[in-house]
Amino acid sequence: MDQVENQQPTGKEILEKVMGEVEVFWMSDDENSGEAIFNKFAEKHAAVFDGAYADPENNDNKLEYTTAHKEFQQLYEAKIEELITAQGVQVVDFFTALEAASKGDDSMAPFYVEMLMSVADYQQFILMMKDYKNHHGK
């Protein structure tokens, strides 16, 4: 019996496959890119981010900012899960491979983690929303 046909991909293969698609998602110019999705979201929510409150260093932010951030996180996480499963990979297998790579000697793992976690950073989100509003006059 030929076992090569049933061989599961290695963690490194899973990471390369999925992160290649995540990079395309972030870097492409099409309507389903990470930037396009953010811009659509920001256009809808930019009016909420105003004045001194739209400062990530201000510890007294509006509740609406937290609500918008959580909504964007959910949107982003759903898209990442879609990208993972579209590659024929289970979400848990991807994150297991990423965790193992982070603990090992994979030099790209910290970059992958940073790329995936960037949206979770509340202060970065506030800066992105403020920047969008400043450049688009919303």
pLDDT single digits (tens) 25-54: 988 989 989 999 999 999 999 888 876 555
Fold of 11-136: Adp-ribosylation factor-like protein 2-binding protein fold (1.20.1520)
| Domain boundary assignment for the chain | 11-136
Closest-CA residue to 10 (of 108, 101, 84, 133):
101
- pLDDT tens digits, 92-104: 999 999 999 888 8
Determine the length of the chain: 138
Residues 49-77: what's their mean pLDDT?
80
- pLDDT for residue 14: 93
Q: How far apart are CA 61 and CA 64, in angstroms?
A: 8
pLDDT of res. 55: 60
Q: Which of 45, 50, 98, 100 is nearest to 67 (CA)?
A: 45
pTM of the model: 0.80
Q: How confident is the model at residue 58 (pLDDT cuts 50, 70, 90)?
A: low
Q: For residue 8, what pLDDT is reported?
A: 82
* Structure confidence at residue 2 as a pLDDT band (50, 70, 90): very low
Percentage, residues of the chain above pLDDT 70: 87
The angle subtended at Cα 113 by Cα 78 and Cα 134, nearest 5°, is 70
93 and 14 in contact (C-beta within 8 Å)? yes
